[in-house]
Amino acid sequence: MSRPIIGITVSVEVNQKVGMTEQKVLFVSQEHADGVIQAEGVPLYFPFTTDPKLIQEYVEQVDGLILTGGWDIDPQLYGEDPLPNLGDISPERDRAEMALTKAFLQAGKPILGICRGHQLLGVALGCTLYQDIGSQLPTANEHFPKIPRNHEMHAIQIEEDSKLYQILGQKQIGVNSMHHQAIRDYPSDISIVARARDGVIEAFESKQYHNVLGVQWHPECMIEETIHAQKIFQWIVEESKKELVKQL
């Protein structure tokens, strides 16, 4: 029996050029793949596309989806005009990931959203965002401190009646933190399952989709440091294995 394929989304850095004519360079960290590998999944990265037929191919041939971190999400996607301190946005990536996310949701396949991926998954499910925590929620702590990527910087509290608690087996963990946006409002079928001490939302689950999870921190940077980072990746691989079984 084959291991499940986990598809990972990539970032685009339009300012990076190799030749004289602009080349659309995609990048991602090896870290996400290493997280999948240690959990015995088969990682592969997606290019950008909004072609429905190709997306349908991906939904059929890929067992689980990881939505990765990156620049800000276009606020028009949750019905807002841009506010001061909105960061760089990537409309093409927004379109490609939103199409992929909706196709995986519709197919009932598992999704793990990390940082921007957590926010994009939230928007796909009806949430709105703080365009910039610093200016819109001035009482919040700093969520983009200048720290090593693998350093646990603050604690989060986890709801006991959550899937995340089942995965981690802990009511509190320490996490790294590299974001300036966060989920603000959410519909009733979203369960907020973790928050930072200042109230910022750190993880959510869906009542409608049993196998999707969004985490605001970056477990892929702490695979070697903490068991709880490994468990997040084990969860997405395990959920994806079930899809594999279904296909057979």
H/E element, 99: helix 91-107
H/E element, 230: helix 227-247
Q: Which is nearer to a second copy, 34 or 159 (CB)?
A: 34
Strand partners, 42: 5
Three-state DSSP class for 148? coil
Neighbours of 30 (CB within 10 A): 10
Q: Which is nearer to a second copy, 123 or 190 (CB)?
A: 123
| Interface size with a second copy, residues (CB under 8 A) | 75
Residues in the chain: 248
99 contributes a contact to a second copy by CB under 8 A:
no
154 is catalytic: no
Instruction: Find the catalytic residue in 220, 221, 239, 243.
Output: 220
CA 199 to mean position of chain CA atoms: 19
Instruction: Find the catalytic residue in 205, 218, 228, 243.
Output: 218
Chain residues 17-76 in contact with a second copy, contact rule CB under 8 A: 17-34, 37, 42-49, 51, 54, 57-58, 60-62, 74, 76
Site string for a second copy, 75-94 (x = CB under 8 A): -x----xxxxxxxxx-xx--
Site string for a second copy, 137-176 (x = CB under 8 A): ----xx--xxxxxxx-xx----------------------
118 is catalytic: no
210 is catalytic: no
Chain residues 113-132 in contact with a second copy, contact rule CB under 8 A: none
Tokens of 21: 């004519």
Q: Half-sphere exposure of residue 11, counting CA atoms within 13 Å on the CB side?
A: 21
H/E element, 5: strand 5-8
- The C-alpha atoms of residue 246 and residue 163 are separated, in whole angstroms, by 22
Q: Which is nearer to a second copy, 51 or 189 (CB)?
A: 51
Neighbours of 64 (CB within 10 A): 27
Q: Which is nearer to a second copy, 171 or 210 (CB)?
A: 171
- The C-alpha atoms of residue 95 and residue 92 are separated, in whole angstroms, by 5
Site string for a second copy, 203-232 (x = CB under 8 A): ------------------x-----------
Q: Which is nearer to a second copy, 82 or 169 (CB)?
A: 82
Residues marked as catalytic: 115, 218, 220
